[in-house]
Chains A and B, each alone.
Chain A
Amino acid sequence: MEFNIYDFTSFTKWIDESLNAAMSPFWVMITEMAIIGVAILAFYALVGLFLVYAERKVCAFMQNRVGPNRVGPFGIFQTIADLLKLLMKELVYIKNADKLLFNIAPFIVITASFLAIAAIPFAKGLHAIDFNIGIFYVVAVSSLGVIGILLAGWSSNSKYSLIGAMRSGAQIVSYELSVGLSLITMVILSGSMQLSTIVEAQANGWFIFTGHIPAIIAFVIYMIAATAETNRGPFDLAEAESELTAGFHTEYSGIRFAFFFLAEYMNMFIVASIAATIFWGGWMPFHVPGWEGFNTVMDYIPPFIWYIGKTAVIIFIMMLFKWTFPRLRIDQLLTLEWKYLLPINLFNVVLMAFIVLMGWHW
């Protein structure tokens, strides 16, 4: 076995072969699924906890505060303490709530983000499923989460939850369009929907540079629409605390509330990694064609670090959105989508198709 931090292909192959030598193909599949499930679960919990801490710290710095600083050095164990508190809290059952849907809803939300994370390429060869329609799959699966949100709002038997869920539904139906169209713009450029191919195609320059203006417009639109899709930042009317107490998760308590909370942060992580993969080259190092020395220096940084770094930068931009802009009203939200983003996006697709047809994109 050879473990190479720059290319995980041989490592995963070694696991597959050694499992195949030990058991039948069916059990190999089951074991591999279990391994990947546990790995993703651990990653999920880790990233979720870290993102909650990071958001609180970033928000504090932007507001000239210190942020959590009591539990552990610089407060790094604050979210773990919060999680322990949430785990020990009582699960309150709501009178006249639809028990089944009420219990299922957090799991649907969390499953949707789980499904999406499987298709993300973390590094070369570190990729759970490499569909040939990867982008399509991610877009389809990540919008499943709204079902959980709608169910949570409907089954809670509370007006705040229902209004919040309905707003969230209207928001996702609108902004899914922008996410899809901005990704289609990049699919036109790359000529493939397979995420590994898209990353490989950016070896000589990330799409945001090689795609010229349409790629930049698509990136900006994707950032806006993705922020809206994760119910974050200025688009958090689904849980507008000043109007709806907490929106769709008003009636949830304890660990089920934590599931919603975690899923929100993981959705942010997922849309940030999609943006990093499609616009900024995923795990691909920063290459400038012709600068050989520079490119080899960049190659020394492991792909996983590149991936995490780019995702972190995009997450920081999304946090900057959240802690800078005031919340939009529902009519302003729909105006932004249907009167601004959608027409620009449609025009942008045509522009990108024209550039690709003329062969100006390299």
Chain B
Amino acid sequence: MRGLINYFSGMFNGIISLVKGMGVTGKYFFTSPVTIVTQQYPENRKTLEMFDAFKGEVTMPHNENNEHKCTACNICQINCPNGSIEVVSKDVVNEEGKKKKELDKHHYNIGMCSFCGLCIKTCPSNALAWGQEFEHAMFTRNKFVKTLNNEGSKLIQKKGVE
């Protein structure tokens, strides 16, 4: 008797849950133009905004005075598993006559980058960040190598540190 009750209750519960599932998909079908979540990419290119968490490319943010935070410590270059980062530094003599290392060029080869984010994670001065640009296709390979710091940019001088 118990088995019989289980048999029928299992069957009816199953049917109810199946109908519920069909209700969900059926609802989506009949309200479909409203609920569509996918975007049609080449058409919406002008209005497309990527999400903050999207890993498009490695960038180096600059402030309005064309200053970045990179101290040319080389940690990103050491941590990069693919060798896609090359930090070129230069020695600058400041007004006190001291030699000081400064960033000359931060080369980033996006063609070799696997977007693992180790450079951004390990940067001690948070000089690197993810950018949302994703259209990286190029016709020649050497265009993949980008210089992240702007022309004539400088390190942000923090007050009271030196």
Chain A positions near chain B (C-beta within 8 angstroms): 58, 61-66, 69, 320-321, 323-325, 340
Q: Which residues of B contact A323 (CB under 8 A)?
A: 25
Contacts beyond the supplied A64-B35, A325-B21: 20 A-B pairs with Cβ under 8 Å:
A58-B29, A61-B29, A61-B32, A62-B25, A62-B29, A63-B28, A64-B36, A64-B37, A64-B38, A65-B37, A65-B38, A66-B38, A66-B40, A69-B40, A320-B22, A320-B29, A323-B25, A324-B18, A324-B21, A325-B18
Q: Which residues of B contact A69 (CB under 8 A)?
A: 40
Q: Which residues of A contact B38 (CB under 8 A)?
A: 64-66
> How does the 8 Å CB contact mask read for B20-59 relative to A, with 1 for contact and 0 for none?
0110111011001001111010000000000000000000
> Which range contains the number of B residues in contact with the other chain?
10 to 19
Q: Is B138 an interface residue (CB 8 A)?
A: no
In the assembled complex, the CB of A216 is this many whole angstroms from the nearest CB of chain B, namely 13
CA distance A64 to B33 in the complex (A): 8
In the assembled complex, the CB of B111 is this many whole angstroms from the nearest CB of chain A, namely 29
* Chain B residues touching A, majority SS: helix
B25 touches A320 (CB 8 A): yes
Instruction: Point out the residue from A66, A324, A340 that lies within 8 Å of B24, measured CB to CB.
Output: A324
B36 touches A66 (CB 8 A): yes
Q: Which residues of A contact B18 (CB under 8 A)?
A: 324-325
Q: Is B137 an interface residue (CB 8 A)?
A: no
Given A66-B36, A66-B38, A66-B40, A61-B28 contact (CB < 8 Å): yes
CA distance A64 to B24 in the complex (A): 12
Q: What are 17 inter-chain pairs, A to B, with CB distance below 8 A?
A: A58-B29, A61-B29, A61-B32, A62-B28, A62-B29, A62-B32, A63-B28, A64-B32, A64-B36, A64-B38, A65-B36, A65-B37, A66-B40, A320-B22, A320-B29, A321-B22, A324-B24
Which chain B residue has the least Cβ–Cβ distance from A65? B38
* Chain A residues touching B, majority SS: helix
A64 touches B28 (CB 8 A): yes
Q: Which residues of B contact A320 (CB under 8 A)?
A: 22, 25-26, 29
CA distance A58 to B30 in the complex (A): 10
Which chain B residue has the least Cβ–Cβ distance from A234? B18
Most buried by A among B18, B22, B24, B32: B32
B36 touches A324 (CB 8 A): no
CA distance A320 to B27 in the complex (A): 11
Cβ-closest 4 pairs across A and B: A61-B32, A62-B25, A324-B25, A64-B37
Q: Which residues of A contact B28 (CB under 8 A)?
A: 61-64
